[in-house]
Amino acid sequence: MKVLITGGAGFIGSNLTRYINNTFPDWEVRILDDLSTGYRENLTGLNAQFFEGSILDLDILAEAAASVDSIVHLAAIPSVPRSVAAPRPTHDANSTGTLNVLESARASGINQVIVASSSSVYGSNPALPKSEFDWTRPMSPYAVSKQATEGYPLAYNFSYGMQNLAFRFFNVYGPGQAAGHAYAAVIPQFLDAALSDAPLLVHGDGLQSRDFTFVGTVCAVITTAIAEGTHSNDPVNLAFNTNTTLLQLISEMETLLGHAVTKTHQETRVGDVRASQSDGVRVRQLFPAVEPVSLTSGLEQTLTWFKDTQTEAAESA
């Protein structure tokens, strides 16, 4: 099996490469990444052929995709606030970039492209928990771009007979997720602040909720989808029906840390969804053998990684 992972130097992509290396060591993995949001150091110790470049560069995309069996398309400009500040780069990378990947796959005779959409596509839909068949109403340019990201591969199933799969990710977290930038996700932000004895910055009242999904669970689902050739003409929520408020998340972190943390509340961010939760039905039907990692276990593994990273940084200073 030959697999191309776009965005493979990023948080999820590098974890997925490692998971494939460990689970199917005979698989050949290629990574295409322009290192705009991924990091070269994430590739250390991975068994993969690296192509440095963008999915907007059709030539290097064609080179990386040549003769592979499956493409996992993770390359994107993430973050709702970043898209609000600069919508065009988000559109170019996420919408046009996805079209480029699909066209490259079609030209190379690749039948399966697995793409990363987002729970943000549900937007202002208040229903909880959410089914893939609920209506969507994006609230940010990022969410709109992710609706295109999932719409294109499903349309290619109908138009060209491909066997693509579109996952809607729900707040993926875990080891390797960077904290030190303006658009960092909430769990690495909180853990980094807590370990530095800094206040945790909470946007709004902290009662907004998320269906946090451990990166190891995501990798298990995607790898199974590749191995089994799983496809669907409808999107699939990659989350397992959990609902955790930010205040509950902080309480869980305090238990693992063994001490209380301080919080500072700020204004709610434009485009942020109040509550996000999947019903978990379709992902369990399609991948019954995958047992999701609990929030407690996932946070514990993530905290250990943060502590180890801080120790390594201190020793090398």
pLDDT on residue 183: 61
Q: Choose which CATH entry (3.40.50.720, 3.40.50.970, 3.10.20.340, 3.40.50.300) describes domain 2-171+213-238.
A: 3.40.50.720
Task: Name the packing angle between helices 141-160 and 97-108 (round to 10°).
Answer: 20
Q: What average pLDDT does range 88-113 have in this prediction?
A: 98
pLDDT on residue 93: 97
Q: For the domain 173-210+242-276+293-308, what is the CATH superfamily, name and number?
A: UDP-galactose 4-epimerase, domain 1 (3.90.25.10)
CA distance 311 to 301: 15
- Tokens 């989350």 belong to 239
Comparing C-alpha atoms, which of 148, 99, 100 is closest to residue 120? 148
pLDDT band at 310 (very low <50, low <70, confident <90, very high): confident
Tell me what percent of the residues of the chain surpass a pLDDT of 90. Answer: 88
Half-sphere exposure of 62 (CA within 13 A, CB side): 7
Q: Do 25 and 93 form a contact (C-beta atoms < 8 A)?
A: no
Q: What is the pLDDT of residues 145-180, one digit of tens each?
A: 999 999 999 999 999 999 999 999 999 999 999 886
pLDDT on residue 252: 96
pLDDT on residue 273: 82
pLDDT band at 270 (very low <50, low <70, confident <90, very high): confident
Does the structure show a pLDDT above 70 at 63? yes
pLDDT band at 311 (very low <50, low <70, confident <90, very high): confident
Does the structure show a pLDDT above 90 at 314? no
Q: Where in the chain is the domain with CATH 3.90.25.10?
A: 173-210+242-276+293-308
CA distance 253 to 269: 23
Q: What average pLDDT does range 41-59 have in this prediction?
A: 97
pLDDT on residue 185: 87
Q: What is the pLDDT of residues 167-224, one digit of tens each?
A: 999 999 999 998 866 667 899 999 999 999 999 999 899 999 999 999 999 999 999 9
Does the structure show a pLDDT above 80 at 271? no
| 187: three-class secondary structure by DSSP | helix
* Long-range contacts at 201-204 (CB < 8 A, ≥ 24 apart): 201/263, 201/264, 201/266, 202/246, 202/247, 202/250, 202/263, 202/264, 202/265, 202/266, 203/265, 203/266, 203/267, 203/268, 203/269, 203/272, 204/265, 204/266, 204/267, 204/268, 204/272
pLDDT on residue 269: 82
Q: Where in the chain is the domain with CATH 3.40.50.720?
A: 2-171+213-238
pLDDT on residue 236: 98
- Tokens 């959410």 belong to 130
pLDDT on residue 317: 64
Tell me how long the chain is. Answer: 317
Q: What average pLDDT does range 264-293 have in this prediction?
A: 92
pLDDT on residue 315: 72
Cα dihedral 189, 190, 195, 198 in deg (nearest 10): 90
pLDDT on residue 139: 94
Does the structure show a pLDDT above 70 at 130? yes
Q: What average pLDDT does range 28-44 have in this prediction?
A: 96
pLDDT on residue 182: 61
CB atoms within 10 A of CB 135: 10
